[in-house]
Each structure stands twice: as structure tokens, then as C-alpha cells.
Amino acid sequence: MAAVEQVVAQQAASTSTEESRRIIRTELCVIGCLLVLLLTLEHVLWMMQDRLSLDVKHLRSLGDIARRLQTEADESDLRVLFLGNSMTRYGVDGEVFEHTYDAGHPEHVSWAKVTPDNTAIPDWYYAYLDFFERPHQLPDVIVLGFEGQHLQDQPSHHPNRLAQYYCQRADWHDLNEYDLAGFEARMDYLSCRASTAWANRDRVERRVLDTCIPGYRTAVQEINDAVSTDPLRVERPTPTYNRLEALIAASRQDQVRLILAAMPIRDPYQLDPELLQLLKQHNVPLIDCRKIPGITPEMFPDGVHMTREASELYSTFLAEQLTIETVGALLPRKARQQLANR
């Protein structure tokens, strides 16, 4: 009887072991399939990320833009970088600016635009450091277009894009100080740096919802507008401009002339007196473009982005303001080197 019980126990143990092995094999198979699926998705999105949006395509081209401005411009040209967001992308007509500037100055101007969507001073700061300063591909002049609170200290709205398209290891200290609040944000940043799919998950989500839900973006915007708080009723902390001061210091050390341009939008806005004081303290020129003759509120269909007609007026006005009286002497690198060698 004891022998029979022992045999039964051995058979039960053997069956249990086989069942456990089968479960483990199944789980490993599922994990393997998921891993293959994720790697395939990662590869597909990496290959096709330019199709996600024009902004992704622009972000991936920032290094090439910096190199072209450095290598294709003649050494006697004045290299001008327009730095900003989509307001600058639609607002600056480079050909109109070039034609207007060349007509009033002896030197030719070469220009480029770095204008990622929905960005502000944190993103512009990293863009300058990572694509122009560290690779030694410096422009002669930076025209930084802004409005409202773009220059105030704030975390980047898109640390995922910083991780995937901008930042390097040397930026880690600044990221921790200004943009990554806590362990979770840091881990998310590192995940975005490693994975194109994870970094662009918001864009993929929008593309899927746009396809599946007619009028999705319009409806979301209307909902956001309906539940948003009136900004005039929100008590805001006193603004600071540490990141702007860091950009001013970096550009000055690199002998790059930084010029700020307060851009026009449909609704009027005031410039912070603290900002004006800081610019005066650091001798940074400010071109006030908020009210340009000929530009009307109707030329901003969505409130911030200019029509083609407004863009031509703005670009002409901006080029005409780059005079010795307004911003001081703007010299190409070759001319500065000649002066330094005298």
C-alpha cells in the first residue's frame, strides 16, 4: 500500500513539474512574442518617424541645418539663425528678409531657421548648445523670436523630444535642475532617449485617434478651451529668467550676437519690466515688432501664426531694424577676425 502511494505521489510530482515547465514555456513564448513585436514596432517607427509630422522631420534635420549654415555660407557672409517655434517658422520669410537686408548693407546675409513646434526658452537653449555651440558651428547672429511668457523659466513641455532629438550627456545637470522633476521624470527621459516609439507616443496616439475619430483634434481643442482657466485670474509666481541669462552668457562667450524680437500676435501683450531690465543690464538688443504698420488682427487666423502677407511685412520690418543705431554693428566672422588681428 505504501509503495502504491509512493508511485502515485511520484506521478503527481512529475505531472506538476511538467505542468510548471509547460506554463514557463508558454510565458516565455508570450514574452518573446511581445519582445519581437515591440522591436518590430520600434524599428518601423524609427524608419518612418519623418512621416509622423513635419515637426519630427524638422527636429531630425537640426544638425544638417547647423552644418549647412556653417559650410555653405561664404566666410564673408553674415550668418543669421532665426531661433524660435512655429511662430517664427510661419512668421519669417527668409527670402524677403535676405533681399531687404542685402539692399541696405554691404555684406550678404545667409540664414537658417530652427523652429520646433510648441517650444520656448528651455528647448531653444538646448538647441543652441547641442547643434551650434558644442559642434563649433556658430552663427554670427541669433534672432530669437518670442511672445508673452516664452522667455520665462519653466520646464520644457516636451522632455521626451529633448531626450530623443536634442540633448547629450553634457546636458544632464541642466535637465535635472530645470526640466526633470523627480525619479519618474528621469526614468521617462531615459526611456525616451532609448526608444523612438516611446518618445513619440503622443504623436502616434494623435495620428491613430485622428484616423479613428472624425474631428478629434478640433473637439479636443474646444474641450480644452471650455475647461481652461482664465489666465488673468491665475496667480503666477514672480517670473525668473535664469535660462535666458545662461543663453546670453553662452552666446557672448562664443562671440555670437543675440538679438530678441518681440513678435506680433492677434491679441496685444505687455513685456515684463523685469525682462526689459535684464536685457538692458546685459546689453541685449530688443526689436519690438508687436505693432508693425500694415499687420492687422485678421492676419492671424489662429491667433498666433501669421498669414503670408503678414510674414512678408514682419520679415521686411525685421531686416530694416538690423541697423547700427538699433542693434549695433553686425559683422561676419571674417570681418571680426580681421579686426582682432589688427
Q: 47, 62, 25, 23: which is closest to 162 by C-alpha? A: 62
Identify whether the C-beta of residue 140 lies closer than 8 Å to the C-beta of residue 330: yes
End-to-end CA distance of the chain: 111
Mean pLDDT of all residues in 102-112: 92
Mean of pLDDT over the chain: 86
Q: Domain-by-domain residue ranges, the chain?
A: 2-51, 55-153+240-341, 157-238
Categorise residue 182: left if φ over 0, alpha if ψ from -120 to 50, beta otherwise.
left
At 235 the pLDDT is 59
At 31 the pLDDT is 80
CB neighbourhood size of 205 (10 A)? 10
Amino acid at 305: H
Domain 55-153+240-341 matching CATH 3.40.50.1110: the answer reads: yes
Q: Is the pLDDT of residue 282 over 80?
A: yes
Helix (H, G, I), strand (E, B) or coil at 297: helix
Rounded to whole angstroms, how far apart are CA atoms 124 and 129? 9
Mean pLDDT of all residues in 288-295: 96
Q: Is the pLDDT of residue 4 over 60?
A: no
At 203 the pLDDT is 78
Q: 319, 264, 324: which is closest to 80 by C-alpha? A: 319
Q: Whole-model pTM? A: 0.83
Q: Is the pLDDT of residue 7 over 70?
A: no
pLDDT-derived band of residue 30, with 50, 70 and 90 as boundaries? Answer: confident
Most confident among 210-224, 235-249, 275-289, 317-331 (mean pLDDT) = 275-289
At 141 the pLDDT is 96
Q: Is the pLDDT of residue 231 over 60?
A: no
pLDDT digit string (tens) for 32-67? Answer: 777 777 677 776 766 677 677 788 899 999 999 999
- Asked whether the CA dihedral 257, 277, 175, 117 is positive or negative, the reply is negative
pLDDT-derived band of residue 24, with 50, 70 and 90 as boundaries? Answer: confident
- Grid cell, residue 61, equals 534635420
Is 284 exposed, middle or buried, given 0-12, 13-18 or 19+ CB atoms closer than 10 A? buried
Identify whether the C-beta of residue 76 lies closer than 8 Å to the C-beta of residue 334: yes
Rounded to whole angstroms, how far apart are CA atoms 284 and 262? 13
Rounded to whole angstroms, how far apart are CA atoms 207 and 201? 10
The secondary element (H helix, E strand) that includes residue 113 is: strand 109-114
Mean pLDDT of all residues in 131-154: 95
Longest CA–CA separation in the chain, Å: 111
Residues 6 or more apart whose CB falls under 8 angstroms from that of 193 comprise 163, 164, 167, 199
- Grid cell, residue 25, equals 514555456
